[in-house]
Structure 1
């Protein structure tokens, strides 16, 4: 095993020497000896090391580390109520590398196809969340009527498509539930990208789309594992809540249901959230922010909230074949660009097959699905 390659892989997932040592149940000095090649792991230790760092075993026998790090810079969105910094997770690292590859291909395709740059509105964290929410809603042509006139699933699908219509790549990835990561964003001048956890329900996805859009508007490219209630994360949450729960409508709706009393119970919050297709916490955050809820309402709801619901269920009328899964994962914007590149002889069809990991017959199915708008 090449020690410098091990050190590179460890750094790539953001893990310290001590962190790797604890994951492998060895002393930190042992990891240091492996990286300096003064000692080598046993077969069992090596297999666990490969799994923890999310790299195939043969990767560690490269003669030198990769010249260019493929670490994906990302701002992570964590689950509500998580008060501790998240530990690096190999599965998340793998999904980040996938997202970075998709972003690289998407940027190349955009230039070759002559697509206009997405031009995500630029904001700063000192901007009022209400103002930023209005700006982003106008940019993607969003309206409250979309939320109130559609089911949760359909509202989520419409928002994803509007984001893609603006040139954003929107991935749906099965991030592990126990990682507490709900999504991440990768800014880029030509190919901005966001990834949403499909283990989340439609209400959580809806909120995450806007939260990640706020990150992209900040052009936030820091590598971080963030707490949900502090700094940039808190601000992005407030932007998403303002976007999905407009102040004027909420004030009117609260007055109709509860008069002038301040909202103080979980039942009252629950009675309000159905209109906006968002979570209890999103409504609680909005109520407290606008002075419509008692102080501490958000924290109280967070403490009593039941376990998060599972992700959205597939449509039973849409069989989950490989073509549909690819379209759901990568989205119509990215898949459509690949298909257009193949039809325009910008990319050989064999390369598109390799990128999407589908057969020719599945690619034909993908063309039909993409054109029909059946993204799911």
Structure 2
């Protein structure tokens, strides 16, 4: 886009962005001396000026192009409002949720306009949440997983990618990142959250915190998928916040049953050889962490608390290797790992068919115009 082109942004979008930034207006005015004219629609910024303003206010650039401000209740009503008091959520997490919600809103509308059916057809939410085994089996059927599907994967990363692909084949959007957008200075805190899910009948979206261990990401991916079945938005936090305790407890049990079926555990477990080596081997077989497996064994009364404690101590001293988010690798491999294939391909389809403008596609995909054609080639190359 030429630098002289002006971008018309609605006044209410400016007002939302300024409020969201929590910055003093005078501070903004000192940095952008035309901000009052922009607010009053007397003048309009260039694309570059708008980009700088969005970066300064720390709001997603794409939101500046909206017709109306983002839904105000994304955080306030859908995520753990406790006694009308919103729990603390960092700016980084909040911006990530807003960005994913904007992308989800677009693809949901696109799918509805193009005759897509709703993603989840079975009435899972009508099932008794206590029917752990039944729901876990139905979830596996939905994803077309074989009874012993995990045996095909000796590397957990490959198992994770496999599960992600199965979800994508069903139309579920799976995103992951370890930073806010492409800003390497805004790392997502694994101590705050491991992932979240935004429910939508046409485009349910799972976001995975890429700073987690690979086995942690597998657990989160399945956990959030189960939330989709129950049509319940979720943030999987590492903080001890009050939640719908029964639902969360049961969804965790369903997740565990899918990843570590009780019948399989009892088949594999050698009661005469209760040691760390056996736990290590079985955790690799099921693509779960040693501690997750140890807790599962304890709950099945196959080991005692002292062995769980030993596993916990070993885990603390030998932390699982986390996925690197350095920018030193192939840019497009990193990009593909962050973005849902469903999402990227649909945006490209919309742009190429003329249903959305190229500029809007660039913003949804978080790429510059000069990289768009390269992205199209990369999508074809990795299919």
Say yes or no: TM over 0.5: yes
Q: How far did residue 299 of structure 1 move?
A: 6.8
User: How many residues matched?
Assistant: 319
Shift of 1:148: 2.0
Gaps of 5+ in 2: 1-14, 32-53, 60-67, 81-85, 180-187
Superposed counterparts of 1:87-106, under 5 Å: 87-106=88-107
Match of 1:17 in 2: none
Q: Name the residue aligned to 1:189.
A: 201
Change (3 A) 1:354 1:269: same
- Compared CA separation, residues 370 and 315, structure 1 to 2 (3 A): farther
Tell me, in whole angstroms, the C-alpha distance in 2 between the residues paired with 1:272 and 1:222.
Answer: 29
Give the whole-Å Cα distance in 2 for the aligned partners of 1:86 and 1:270.
Answer: 37
Deviation for aligned residue 1:57: 4.7
Instruction: State the distance in 2 between where 1:67 and 1:6 align.
Output: 10
* C-alpha distance 102-201 of structure 1, shift in aligned 2 (>3 A): same
CA deviation map 1:241-272 (0-9, x unaligned): 111112222211103xx44x7x5x55542232
Structure 1's consecutive aligned runs of 4 or more residues displaced over 6 angstroms after TM superposition are 4-8, 40-43
Aligned to 1:212: 224
Deviations 1:287-310 (A, max 9, x none): 233332335865774566317434
Residue equivalent to 2:113: 112
Deviation, 1:171, is 0.8
* Structure 2 residue aligned with 1:170: 174
Within the candidate set 311, 319, 326, 2:322 is matched to 311
Alignment-derived partner of residue 298 in structure 2: 288
Task: Name the residue aligned to 2:182.
Answer: none
Residues 295, 134 of structure 1: alpha-carbon distance in 2 compared, 3 angstrom cutoff: farther
Structure 1 residue aligned with 2:262:
247
SS in 2 for 1:269: helix
CA distance in 1: counterparts of 2:88 and 2:70, whole angstroms: 26
Structure 1 residue runs of 5 or longer lacking an equivalent are 11-19, 21-33, 35-39, 48-53, 60-64, 77-84
Residue 129 of structure 2 is matched in structure 1 by 126
- More displaced stretch, 117-126 vs 161-170: 117-126
Q: TM-score, normalised by structure 2?
A: 0.69
User: 1:149 deviation in Å?
Assistant: 2.0
CA 5–368 in structure 1, closer or farther in 2 if over 3 Å, else same:
closer
> CA RMSD for the aligned pairs?
4.1
